[in-house]
């Protein structure tokens, strides 16, 4: 016997609630186990305070478990009653769709061809940046090449002094960058 539309909707809602409960229980249980592990590591210090570590571990474990149960209940209720209003969007023109994809991928300021360069320029203009990384004719600018390899702050200085770069010539670079 097939279910009516109302019964199907109720069944799906029940499954969603159950799924949210299970996800929350799983997350909180993993967190609880990590907390209990940390408690076990430090409970030996209770012996220095003239307290029985075993009893203190039981007390702390019970209070942590009670807190976990309260958090589970609170978070499940929040997730169940969190309302999202969905609305149908109009068909997006191809230019706006391409623009949105470029923004999502984080490549809005990189252009491969003229069409992409125009889109990137429009996106950059909307962001308030003016032009993207393009020259006036739409060609991309060449990357700057280093003459010598980059020296890390904690690497030995290339001058041969034996000092760290940050204590030798790196100090000069920092002073010029600040001033």
pLDDT tens-place string over residues 87-140: 666 554 566 767 777 777 765 444 445 555 565 566 566 555 444 455 555 567
Predicted pLDDT of residue 161: 85
Q: Locate 28 and state its tokens.
A: 């909180």
- The residue behind tokens 């960058």 is 177
Residue 151 phi/psi, 5-degree rounding, is -105, 125
In this predicted structure, the answer to whether residue 22 has a pLDDT above a threshold of 70 is yes
pTM: 0.42
pLDDT, tens digit, 9 for 90 and up, residues 29-48: 999 999 999 988 888 888 78
d(CA 135, CA 124): 14
Tell me: pLDDT of 142 over 50.
yes
- Per-residue DSSP letters for the chain? -PPPHHHHHHHHHHHHHHHHHHHHHHHHHHHHHHHHHHHHHHGGGGGGGTS-HHHHHHHHHHHHHHHHHHHHHHHHHHHHH------PPPPPPHHHHHHHHHHHHT-TT--SSHHHHHHHHHHHHHHT--S-SB-TTSPBPPPPPPSS----TTSBPTTSSSSBTTTTTHHHHHHHHH-
Residue 25's pLDDT is 93
> Considering only 20-24, 82-86, 166-170, which range has the smallest mean pLDDT?
82-86
- Taking the C-alpha atoms of residue 160 and residue 96, their distance in angstroms, rounded to an integer, is 56
User: Is the pLDDT higher at 88 or at 10?
Assistant: 10
Sign for the CA dihedral angle at 153, 158, 162, 168 comes to negative
């Amino acid at each position: 016997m097939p279910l009516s539309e109302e019964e199907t909707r109720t069944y799906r809602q029940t499954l969603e609630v159950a799924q949210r409960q299970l996800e929350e229980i799983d997350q909180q249980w993993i967190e609880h186990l990590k907390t209990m592990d940390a408690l076990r590591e430090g409970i030996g210090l209770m012996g220095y305070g003239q307290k029985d570590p075993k009893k203190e571990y039981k007390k702390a474990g019970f209070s942590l478990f009670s807190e976990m149960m309260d958090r589970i209940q609170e978070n499940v209720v929040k997730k169940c009653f969190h309302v999202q209003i969905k609305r149908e969007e109009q068909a997006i023109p191809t230019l706006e769709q391409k623009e949105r994809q470029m923004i999502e991928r984080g490549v809005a300021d990189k252009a491969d061809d003229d069409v992409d360069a125009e889109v990137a320029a429009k996106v950059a203009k909307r962001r308030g940046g003016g032009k993207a990384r393009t020259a006036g004719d739409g060609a991309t600018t060449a990357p700057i090449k280093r003459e010598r390899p980059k020296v890390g702050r904690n690497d030995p200085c290339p001058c041969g002094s034996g000092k760290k770069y940050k204590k030798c010539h790196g100090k000069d670079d920092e002073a010029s960058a600040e001033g």
